[in-house]
Amino acid sequence: MLCLPVLGFLALSYALYRARFYNQRRKLLRRSWDDLLASIQSVNNHGISTVALAYLNPTSEQLRMQPFEMWALVGRQEGLDALNANAQAMLDLALYAAQWDHVEGRIVGEMMRRDAVRLRQATRQIRMAVLNEKAEKFAAFELQEAAAAYHLMRHRLHGLYKASNATLYPAIAGAI
């Protein structure tokens, strides 16, 4: 007796989720590639890469970077907001590139989507640490996670465009 309403609710939820996804994709494909590229915000890519590589490629001096240095290199709160906005724009650009290379585009797009989830989780935890006044203790780890996720997304998108549409790659490389 209870199973029928639960199954109905699950079916309706799934249908709404698919409809939302379909509408988002349709809106995205109506936008021009130039509009997508113009939505990229300026960030300190060198600073983000510095923080990311210290995290992704540990050395004997892996603790040399202090949290306040990482915070400045990432661009503080404004930088985190730009990273989140750029993550969505990069996902959109990857979906756009999937039109030219269906297999690699979908695989790279999924890897980028997972990186974007890590980026959002890290920035949400940084905000919570700042609100709870525990940023000195916990935010450094999350900053490294956020920088690493963005760094990986950026390089995945570069590789995707290099492989799928080399004529658009210079514009991507200049913007991101």
Do residues 88 and 120 make contact, with C-beta atoms less than 8 angstroms apart?
no
Q: Which residues of the chain have pLDDT under 70?
A: 1-2, 17-29, 62-63, 133-138
Tokens describing residue 93: 């650009």
Do residues 126 and 146 make contact, with C-beta atoms less than 8 angstroms apart?
yes
How far is residue 150's CA from residue 41's CA, in Å, rounded to a whole number? 13
pLDDT of residue 54: 87
pLDDT tens-digit map of 15-34: 776 666 566 666 666 778 78
pLDDT of residue 21: 58
pLDDT of residue 74: 87
pLDDT tens-digit map of 80-106: 999 999 999 998 888 888 878 778 888
For the chain, give every domain's residue range: 1-30, 31-175
Torsion of the alpha carbons at 122, 53, 72 and 78, rounded to the nearest 10: -50
The CB-side HSE value for 75 (13 A sphere, CA atoms) comes to 19
Tokens describing residue 173: 């490389």
